[in-house]
Amino acid sequence: MQPDSGNNHNSIRRGWRERWRALLHRLRPFLPGTAVLRGASISMALMMWLFAVIMAYPAFVRFAWWSLPAYALGLALATALASAVGVLLLRWLARWPRLFVWGIATAVLLLLATFANGGQRALPLLMPLLLLLTGLVGAGVTVWWRQRQGETAVHPRLSALGLLLGVGGLLALGGWLLWPGAPLVMPPNAAMLAWEEKGKATSTLPDPAQTGPFTVQTLTYGSGTDRHRPEFGADVDVVTTSVNGDVFLSGWTKLRTAYWGFGETELPRNGRVWYPLGDGPFPLVLVVHGNHSMDEFSDPGYAYLGELLASRGFIVVSVDENFLNGSAVADWLGQEKLSEENDARGWLLLEHLRLWRAWQETAVSPFYHKIDMTRIALIGHSRGGEAVAVAAAFNRLPRYPDYATMRFNYDFDIRAVIAIAPVDGQYKPADVPLPLQDVHYLVLQGSHDMDVTTFMGQQQYDRVHFSGGDWFKAAVYVYGANHGQFNTVWGDTDRWTPGILLYNRGQLLPETEQQRAAQVFVTAFLEATLHETAVYRDFFRDYRPGAAWLPDTIYLTRYEDAHMQFVLTFEEDIDVTTTTLPGGRLGGRYLSVWREEDVEQKGTDLATHAVTLGWRERADGETAVYTITLPPTLTLHAEQALVFSLADAGPIAAADTPRPPIDLHIELEDGQGETAVLPLSHVAYLQPQLDAQLMKLAFLSRGATAEVVWQSFVLPLVDFTAVNPDAGCHPPGGGAFLV
């Protein structure tokens, strides 16, 4: 007789079910019941809703009293409805209490909405952690309450442990989010190391950040009808007319009009002015902010520059363009927003200059014959940093490139442009990267910028060209500087809350030090270009004599002027053996890497070519060499210099073992074989790439934390002849770049 296999299988299944029931019976005192799960779910949903409302408070509170309650109610309704739909879609969770599933879905949606800006990479960590902790708190409170009613659904000690873990975990997480982050560990300063080794002297020039001899006065000009700022409303000193910006703008909402009281066809010309008491005429400097919440006004944030510059004999205007900025409410929570408006920002600066030209020529004006309209500078921050380049380009155009029926008629004497942490490429006239010619140009960038996270300003720097004259341009990279501290209103919060809570603000330079660095570089640049104090130009060739003026950090600097003749730009062709200047040749020996390529930044290409060189130590002791044979038509003079733009190609070293500064050797050989060799450290060591770990947790960082930043190295020919007096006495035969 064969055994009944079906009955045996049924018996086994019944046995397992009985064992499972017995296990559940034993675990029942430790398992949460329906009431406990209900408490946990309600706690999670309410906690995440309250958290989302608190985090949204800064974006709404200044707009209108009703905006935050409306947002809170709308958020609750929207997420509750969305989570209800999700519950219907997740039928397979039907065995769980529906309220529990609804609560979790609502909490997840609220958390997604809260950390949507600046915290995407943290969501996989924060979501389950916050849900678990708030769930433990809600469950613990529910158990405690039911125990007071005489019910004991869960073991008291277990519920107390859950409540303790939930509360303790939330406190610990909150403390970590509020902690600014670990302080910055300063790597070796390659430029200053070489300077100190050679015992070079400091500058005898006066500190450009010192207050000047002039008494400073202030006034405001504007529409006289501003709803939110009396200095541009009832208390304005000079009333101005509006201008029509409709052709430049799209996405202007009715809520934006309701807040400001005007539309895109009636843009006001508002400005804060600091000016020296005296007869003049004084150079004119316009400063413009970038994008920020439009109801947290950005234009007062440059008073530290305005007061200093005015005391030194400049008229300074902080231009109000807050109505072109973003707003969570006015932009319908991002569904419809003002965008691609950087051309409008630049054009509006030129319309402000129209006012100043008229005031210079109007006898009743407080500035009659006090403005030097032949010496104008524009300073822009963030989007304003691109806008000032746009304004300088529009200034010389007969028509608007994107709507040619609109005529331009400006032609102001804009001599200098300063871009602070600028964006680049948000506006391209006729879809072409913005060119700029024959203007002094300075760009400043912080390594720890949490908004413009890559040195975009290098791209515009490379597009500034000179046709002659005495123009120059300079770039400065400030280690430890962020985006917002260049403006006293913006501060150290480069990102929206709560995303900024994930960033390592403990690494930043103190705000006063970052602003002092800006004062030094901006003032020295304007003294050199508008006041034509030529000695300050040397500060941009080499900042180290003036290092005592600056905060103690690392500065990577670059310099170029109209007198330089380029032998190599690596832009001319695909032949790696030819020079840009016809007739020269390139060669190499013992190099492990030799290629010409686009240079990558953190988030994009630098839009410029360079040669990338690499080498290894050789067992035979031979040295890697990159040779540049100069064209025979090139004539060298003793007062000339060799200039190199160099950067470390990376990658960065581990934080606990920083890579030492890099030294190379430059050998100059003339046509008769006479040679002279100088180490690169004769000028400065090459700085290894600077790590900027923006996030508190390294895995939250997006992509690279360091990038290529060029440095200029100037080696005077007289320094080579000091090594060998016969070198350079004959026609050039080549220069050997020893690595």
- Give 200-235 pLDDT, tens digit per residue: 888 888 999 999 999 999 999 999 999 999 999 999
Digit-coded pLDDT (tens) for 479-503: 999 999 999 999 998 887 777 888 8
Q: Out of 84-88, 190-194, 470-474, which region has the weakest mean confidence (pLDDT)? A: 84-88
Digit-coded pLDDT (tens) for 149-167: 666 556 677 777 878 888 8
* Cα 418 to Cα 436: distance, rounded to the nearest angstrom: 13
Digit-coded pLDDT (tens) for 226-276: 999 999 999 999 999 999 999 999 989 888 999 999 999 999 999 999 999
Is residue 637 within 8 A of residue 614, CB to CB? The reply is no
Q: Out of 39-48, 412-421, 504-513, which region has the weakest mean confidence (pLDDT)? A: 39-48
Is residue 228 within 8 A of residue 256, CB to CB? The reply is no
In sequence order, what are the residues at sequence separation of 6 or more whose Cβ sits closer than 8 angstroms to the Cβ of residue 129? Answer: 169, 173
Mean local confidence (pLDDT), 395-414: 95
Torsion angle, alpha carbons of 113, 118, 124, 129, to 10: -70
* Cα 562 to Cα 713: distance, rounded to the nearest angstrom: 17
Tell me which DSSP letter residue 267 carries.
Answer: B
* Res 5: pLDDT: 54
Residue 40 clears pLDDT 90, i.e. is over it: no
* Cα 217 to Cα 315: distance, rounded to the nearest angstrom: 10
* Res 87: pLDDT: 67
Three-state DSSP at 193 gives helix
Residue 446 CB neighbour total at 10 angstroms = 29
Residue 74 CB neighbour total at 10 angstroms = 11
In sequence order, what are the residues at sequence separation of 6 or more whose Cβ sits closer than 8 angstroms to the Cβ of residue 321? Answer: 288, 289, 299, 345, 348, 384
Q: Out of 82-91, 126-135, 321-330, 413-422, which region has the weakest mean confidence (pLDDT)? A: 82-91
Token pair for residue 617? 């130590």
Percentage of the chain beyond pLDDT 70 is: 87
Of the pLDDT bands very low, low, confident and very high (cuts 50, 70, 90), residue 398 is: very high
- Largest Cα–Cα distance of the chain, in whole Å? 124
Mean local confidence (pLDDT), 77-102: 69
**Number of residues that make up the chain:** 739
- Residue with the bigger pLDDT between 339 and 195: it is 195
Is residue 75 within 8 A of residue 53, CB to CB? The reply is yes
pTM here is: 0.85
Of the pLDDT bands very low, low, confident and very high (cuts 50, 70, 90), residue 609 is: confident
Token pair for residue 632? 């025979």
* Res 61: pLDDT: 66
User: Which of 723, 722, 691 lies closest to 706 in space, CA to CA?
Assistant: 691
* Res 114: pLDDT: 64
Say which residue the tokens 């989010």 belong to: 177
* Cα 74 to Cα 64: distance, rounded to the nearest angstrom: 16
In sequence order, what are the residues at sequence separation of 6 or more whose Cβ sits closer than 8 angstroms to the Cβ of residue 521? Answer: 442, 444, 476
Of the pLDDT bands very low, low, confident and very high (cuts 50, 70, 90), residue 735 is: very low
User: Which of 338, 322, 377, 343 lies closest to 489 in space, CA to CA?
Assistant: 322
Mean pLDDT of the chain: 86
As beta bridge partners, residue 644 has 713
Mean local confidence (pLDDT), 53-58: 74
User: Which of 353, 348, 387 lies closest to 371 in space, CA to CA?
Assistant: 353
DSSP codes of every residue in 214-234: SPEEEEEEE-S--SS-GGGTT
Expressed in angstroms, the distance from the first to the final Cα of the chain is 91
* Res 335: pLDDT: 63
User: Which of 671, 644, 651 lies closest to 739 in space, CA to CA?
Assistant: 644
Digit-coded pLDDT (tens) for 694-724: 888 887 777 788 999 999 999 998 998 888 8
Residue 318 clears pLDDT 60, i.e. is over it: yes
Digit-coded pLDDT (tens) for 662-692: 899 999 888 778 889 999 999 999 999 999 9
Mean local confidence (pLDDT), 369-389: 97
Of the pLDDT bands very low, low, confident and very high (cuts 50, 70, 90), residue 121 is: low
Of the pLDDT bands very low, low, confident and very high (cuts 50, 70, 90), residue 508 is: very high
Cis peptide before 187 (omega within 30 of 0): no
Mean local confidence (pLDDT), 453-464: 94
Map out the domains of the chain with their CATH numbers. Answer: 25-178 (no CATH), 190-561 (3.40.50.1820), 585-738 (2.60.120)
Residue 412 clears pLDDT 90, i.e. is over it: yes
Is residue 142 within 8 A of residue 152, CB to CB? The reply is no
Residue 731 clears pLDDT 50, i.e. is over it: no
Is residue 176 within 8 A of residue 502, CB to CB? The reply is no
HSE value, Cβ hemisphere, 13 Å, CA-based, for 279 = 0
